[in-house]
């Protein structure tokens, strides 16, 4: 019988499966393309990191990011790519449960610490890496400029933006500006051959959204995957826009997610 951690991360009937759908498809495609060897621009070994691993709990109708990532890193293709996975969880109780579930898997290392202090290993310029960042709220966001500064030109990511989780829009505007800074850190380091794609759950009271970084040539695939296929997993569907294809719409959507309607109408805000 699976014992639940007292520090289990939040799970939603619809949001969590969608997030895991994105993660599974992004990692699956990356692994497959990397296995093409010299035909692929990025080089191996493939470095994967989960900055907010949680307790790794899975059930009959939900999975966990550590489990999804470890499957891709340890399957035949992942082994061919020399894939490794580093799981970081700062909560002691959640980490103990994570150890119970993941500690005996080859190629997977675990760390009980604050991932804001974590830095990627020294990567070759075009070495493939994948970062998953799924904080429970903005105040637990571990991505920093120092960490992003260690990205290679072939580092991809999937980042959860919990834009109105726990009624965050009730907080003063200056406190919410951290969301803009957070996204700006990520997109400002985007290589020219990569693109940022933003997905959001339509008419979601918590306004959850997800930001991913993919090779620019994957943009259409990513939109179709996240909006058309993945949209069937959310009752009202999913929206999507890419930065390079429509920067104005991309930034307008961020403002819709991060600001109240009155603040947007007031025009007293500015996104970099």
Query: Which of 138, 254, 120, 260 is CA-nearest to residue 187?
Result: 254
Q: What angle do CA 71, 67, 146 make, to 5 degrees?
A: 95
Examine residue 31 and state whether it is found in any structural domain, yes or no: yes
In a domain, 87, yes or no: yes
Which residue range forms the structural domain that includes residue 173? 15-266
Rounded to an integer, the average pLDDT of 186-207 is: 93
d(CA 18, CA 14): 6
Reported pTM: 0.90
pLDDT tens for each residue of 63-104: 999 999 999 999 999 999 999 999 999 999 999 999 999 988
117-144 pLDDT, tens digit per residue, is 999 999 999 999 999 999 866 566 788 8
Does some domain include residue 271? no
Confidence category of residue 2, pLDDT binned at 50, 70, 90: very low
Mean of the per-residue pLDDT values of the chain: 88
Query: Is position 67 within any domain?
Result: yes
Residue 10 included in any domain: no
Q: In 3-state terms, what secondary structure has residue 85?
A: strand
Tally of domains within the chain: 1
Domain-embedded: residue 149? yes
What pLDDT sits at residue 8? 42
| Polymer length of the chain | 272
pLDDT at 268 over 60: no
Q: Are 174 and 201 in contact (CB under 8 A)?
A: no
CB 269 within 8 A of CB 263: yes
Classify residue 251: in a domain, yes or no: yes
**Are 138 and 168 contacting, i.e. CB atoms less than 8 angstroms apart?**
yes
For residue 51, the Cα-to-chain-centroid distance in whole angstroms is 9
pLDDT of residue 172: 73
Could you tell me the CATH number of the domain that includes residue 177? Answer: 3.40.50.150
Assess if residue 9 is contained within a domain. Answer: no
Q: What is the pLDDT of residue 252?
A: 94
Which residue in 127, 130, 132, 129 sits closest to 143, CA to CA?
Answer: 132
Percent of the chain residues topping a pLDDT of 90: 69
| pLDDT on residue 138 | 59
């Amino acid at each position: 019988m699976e014992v639940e951690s007292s520090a289990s991360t939040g799970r939603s009937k619809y949001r969590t499966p969608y997030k895991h759908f994105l993660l599974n498809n992004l990692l699956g495609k990356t692994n497959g393309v990397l296995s093409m060897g010299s035909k692929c621009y990025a080089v191996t070994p493939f470095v994967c990191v989960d900055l907010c691993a949680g307790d790794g709990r899975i059930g009959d109708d939900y999975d966990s990011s550590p489990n999804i990532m470890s499957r891709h890193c340890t399957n035949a293709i992942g082994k061919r790519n020399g894939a490794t996975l580093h799981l970081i969880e700062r909560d002691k109780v959640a980490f103990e449960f994570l150890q119970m579930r993941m500690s005996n898997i080859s190629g997977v290392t675990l760390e009980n610490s604050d991932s804001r202090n974590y830095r990627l290993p020294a990567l070759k310029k075009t070495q493939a890496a994948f970062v998953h960042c799924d904080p429970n709220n903005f105040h637990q966001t571990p991505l920093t400029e120092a960490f992003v500064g260690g990205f290679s030109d072939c580092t991809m990511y999937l980042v959860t933006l919990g834009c109105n989780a726990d009624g965050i829009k009730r907080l003063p505007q200056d406190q919410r500006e951290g969301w803009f800074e957070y996204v700006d850190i990520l997109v400002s380091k985007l290589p020219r051959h990569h693109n940022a794609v933003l997905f959001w759950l339509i008419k979601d009271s918590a306004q959850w959204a997800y930001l991913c970084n993919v090779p620019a040539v994957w943009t259409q695939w990513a939109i179709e995957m996240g909006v058309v296929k993945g949209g069937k997993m959310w009752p009202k569907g999913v929206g999507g826009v890419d930065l390079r294809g429509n920067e104005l719409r991309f930034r307008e959507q961020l403002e819709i997610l991060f600001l109240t309607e009155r603040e947007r109408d007031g025009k007293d805000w500015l996104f970099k």
